[in-house]
Amino acid sequence: MNELFNLNEFLNSLPNLPGVYRMIDINGQVLYVGKAVNLKRRVSSYFQKTELSPRIQLMVKQIDHVDITVSRSEVEALILENNLIKALAPKYNILFRDDKSYPYLKFSAHTFAQMSYYRGNLDKTNTYFGPFPNSNAVRDSIHILQKIFLLRTCEDSVFQNRQRPCLLFQIKRCSAPCVSAISQEEYKQTVQQAADFLNGKKEQELIVAITQKMEAAAQELNFEDAAKYRDQIQALSRVQEKQYVESQEHYQNIDVLVVVQEQEIVCVHWVSIRGGRHVGDKSFFPKVLDQTDSLQNYIEAFIAQHYLGKSKPDLILTNLPVPEILITALNEEVPKKIAFIHRTLGEKKVWLKMAERNAHLAIVQKMAQKQTQTERLVALLDVLALEAEDDLNNFRIECFDISHTQGEATVASCVVYEKETMQPSQYRRFNIETAKASDDYGAMREVLTRRYTRMQNEQTKLPDLVLIDGGKGQISVALNVWQELGLDIPLLGIAKGPERKAGLEELILPRQNHTIQLPPNHPALHLLQTIRDEAHRFAITGHRARRAKARVSSSLEDIPGVGTKRRQALLTRFGGLRGVQAASVEDLSKVSGVSMELAQKIYDHLH
């Protein structure tokens, strides 16, 4: 405990008011964020009670000092607590993935609205439907809406420059507003029909309304429009025939939430019903901080983090009761009160039972996956003749890969495998700055030196194994770096086999001073392929983003006479902007489309 922090004086000075408290360690890291109706009573309980859970006992030992924020009400404290948990991700709070990453279906605010898949923060300009539990649910909805309402999905850059309809118009998936094949008013009506459909207006109601339009068009001898309405009716009828789990409730947007536990795994299962139709579900596996924790804590944490400040359904159906204070906070954010039910009969009870069954199945699959990962890791350690120092769960593998296009915008990736799974939050990318263009060995030297020099300086736990996506050359570079830095981390290279076929990879083991090739079905090889492929994916996505940014911001754009084609030719020929800068006037003039005069202009501009 901080010597300047007098615990007794602090506890005596606490007010009997609602608010939020933050437990902070000696390094300034927030360990835990909590809310209280009475700050004095709640915070004092951590230091006066003797029967604390093991998790809380461990946390209290690490507390250096406590910060508090007084609020006007318990509801305000709850909202502040949720915001701080999302922002700080404290070690001892129950954390769920932030719902800003959940997918939505978006109708843009354009005159001819674009229908699209969307992730991110919502604004008031456009219209959003969701959130959906997964991307497939959004894409399935877009596919259905394209068939029925023929809404455009193309980007503005394409839409604004079309001179004739695209293929989607030919196959009856778009009404071609880009070439005025549909009037502005009619397209607007169609968008409204699609919105009604997503908001739960039943297919039969829409069929009746569209049938009336078809009959009116036919009476006016407008057979072309009548045929369009007929096609819409047929598409809606086919949707009716699909085997959806449908709700007969007057609530159109319903979320079913259940929390179950088996052994050491807790699962929160979310079922989404939108427009009266089951659109998908998703399982969450929060880190179990303490086996004595009540399941009530997990569902409360999920509801607070998932719904406060976000879009909400009409009804939230749970297998455990929701605290009144949380219900009050959620209902203060919406004009129409949300219904909360946890004891029910009939159709809703069937939904709860179905969700609980799916949660148990998800846990079984999780456990099976964990067993598979354990078997793979054990097999790898056996192949490498290594031993985990204490627990397989703490065995850490870091894997490196290099990505570039002819030396342009070189990016190195470092991905992490720990706790028997990939750890995306610990991935790192490195923009290669000192190595020459197309020098993979130099790039590998730079990234390894930067990574492990920093880890040594910060005294961070080093990995138990470093995997290099490459052959003997890259491993030789890594060994040199190890010697320079005084490292003794086991190294393993994985080189692509003949014709780059999966299953034929060659493993380079520098400690044993030999190479091996494992059978294609070997569990250790499967683990290495998974980690290597993830490193490659992470590197190439970073490279593409950097390359696109570099090309957009390239100073070549400022040179008169250097358009898109010449700029691309220069970057390709010299492996990026640095290569162009290093080229002589004579070298520049050898590029197709670049005269000696233009080469001199380019050289002068860059120097």
Q: What percent of the chain has pLDDT over 70?
A: 89
Please indicate whether residue 556 or residue 560 has the higher confidence score (pLDDT).
560
Query: Is the pLDDT confidence value at 1 over 70?
Result: no
**Band of residue 379 on the pLDDT scale cut at 50, 70, 90:** very high
CATH placement of domain 254-363 = 3.30.420.340
Residues 268-293: tens digit of each pLDDT:
999 888 766 777 788 888 887 776 67
Query: Is the pLDDT confidence value at 343 over 50?
Result: yes
Query: Is the pLDDT confidence value at 450 over 60?
Result: yes
pTM to 2 decimals?
0.61
Q: First CA to last CA across the chain, in angstroms?
A: 58
**Would you state the pLDDT for residue 334?**
86
Two domains, one topology: 254-363 and 392-549:
yes
Residue with tokens 């809406």: 145
Could you give the dihedral angle defined by the CA atoms of residues 117, 123, 127 and 133, in that order, rounded to the nearest 10 degrees? 50
With contact defined as beta carbons under 8 Å apart, do 554 and 571 qualify?
yes
Fold of 554-606: DNA polymerase; domain 1 (1.10.150)
Query: Is the pLDDT confidence value at 240 over 50?
Result: no
Could you give the dihedral angle defined by the CA atoms of residues 372, 374, 380 and 381, in that order, rounded to the nearest 10 degrees? -160
**Would you state the pLDDT for residue 575?**
66
Query: Is the pLDDT confidence value at 4 over 60?
Result: no
pLDDT, average across residues 30-53 = 88
Residues 85-106: tens digit of each pLDDT:
888 889 888 887 655 567 888 9
Domain ranges of the chain: 7-93, 101-241, 254-363, 392-549, 554-606
Structure tokens at 505: 């990879």
With contact defined as beta carbons under 8 Å apart, do 59 and 22 qualify?
no
**Would you state the pLDDT for residue 366?**
84
List beta partners, residue 271: 256, 281
Fold of 7-93: GIY-YIG endonuclease (3.40.1440)
In order of 83, 531, 570, 597, 599, the CA distances from 586 in angstroms are 60, 45, 13, 10, 7
Q: Coil, strand or helix: which one is 180?
A: coil
Lowest mean pLDDT among 107-116, 182-191, 247-256, 466-475: 247-256
How many CA atoms lie less than 13 Å away from 108 in the CB half-sphere?
A: 15
In DSSP notation, 453-471 reads HHHHHTTPPPPSEEEEES-
pLDDT, average across residues 370-397 = 86
In order of 30, 266, 364, 438, the CA distances from 53 in angstroms are 19, 18, 28, 56
Instruction: Indicate the class that CATH gives domain 392-549.
Output: alpha beta
